[in-house]
Structure 1
Amino acid sequence: MQFGGVVVAHLTTVQLRGVSFKVSESARQRVLAQRQRNVHAYAIGTYTSAAQPTATEPISYNPYQAGHFFRVEDQASIHSAAALVLSQGKAYASAQASLFF
């Protein structure tokens, strides 16, 4: 977890609320051209220490597949979510109150 660009904690599970998913298209294009990974896609939200995770819809991102985050189930793009859980290398968004396009 970062605060002001400084790592302040290492957690096995993180839950965020009010999440926006961002992708830098110019950096994604560099990934496609160079075939070399770089940090260009991320989620922005407010950390929450809710006891029970509220996000259960698996989501993913693959720069070679699309320029946006997407639901694993049907490949529909997702740009924001009410909640996001990151756990054991997987990401889960809340199914309700999300903006799917």
Structure 2
Amino acid sequence: MFQNTLSFDTPEIDEFNTFNETECSLSHYFDSESLITDGALHTEITRKDKTETRLTPIGSPVDSYRNLNMPKYFSIRSRDGEYKGKVVGYAQSVIIRNPSFVVGEKSRQRIINIEFKKNVHAFCRGEFVNAFNSSVIESRLPNSLRVSYSPYVAGHFYTVERDETGAINKRKMKPVLDSLGYEYAIVSGSDVLLTNF
């Protein structure tokens, strides 16, 4: 199912990649199946007691960010079309192609100086590729770069190394303002993983 969808909608992305000389699909990097059906993510969204299905086609321009009400999930917000500026999907892991990182500094300042409550102001922007309801299996991405963000640490995304307890080694942090030559971002868990698969 996923392989047909991927090769149909985005021919420039190989439907199989090689991992340790074994062909595998993108599903190889997750503990669940792709959420893509018929070339798009289908999500039931309920608003004001009305439920509708919103589609996120592969290749759509989107922003992805942690869902503040369901921290295990990331929201996918459309950047064009009928639902421009609205949430069109949710997933535990979102794959973005040609990623960039955006931080709204005014909103960040409200969090750290005035309101002391979270608001959506930082996200990964790019082309929607896929979504999964499981975390990425990091051991299968040997050449990835870990990126993270906290409004209390910096006003931008940054590279991060974590120790065995999950604490950040602040001396090794470096600013990340673009994809640093990586074609894909996997928004999953505590951080974003930049990779070329």
Matched, 1:13 2:111: no
* TM value normalised by structure 2: 0.42
Give the distance between the partners of 1:16 and 1:9, measured in 2 at CA: 13
CA contact (8 A) 1:18 1:80 kept: no
Q: TM-score, normalised by structure 1?
A: 0.76
Q: In percent, how many aligned pairs have the same letter?
A: 30
In structure 1, give the amino acid aligned to 2:110. R
Q: Superposition pairs for residues 62-81 of structure 1, below 5 Å?
A: 62-73=150-161, 74-81=172-179
For the aligned residue pairs, the C-alpha RMSD in angstroms reads 2.6
CA distance in 2, matches of 1:10, 1:65: 26
3-state SS, counterpart of residue 22 of structure 1: strand
User: Following superposition, which runs of at least 4 residues in structure 1 exceed 6 angstroms of deviation?
Assistant: 52-55
Residue 47 of structure 1: aligned partner: 128
Contact persistence 1:53–1:85 (CA under 8 A): no
Aligned length: 94
Cα contact 2:141–2:195 (8 A) shared by 1:
no
Higher helix share: 2
**Which structure has more strand as a fraction of its residues?**
1
1:2 equivalent in alignment to 2:90: no
What amino acid sits opposite 2:129 in the alignment?
T
Cα separation, partners in 2 of 1:55 and 1:80, compared to 1, 3 Å: farther
Unaligned segments of structure 2, at least 5 residues:
1-75, 79-83, 131-139, 162-171
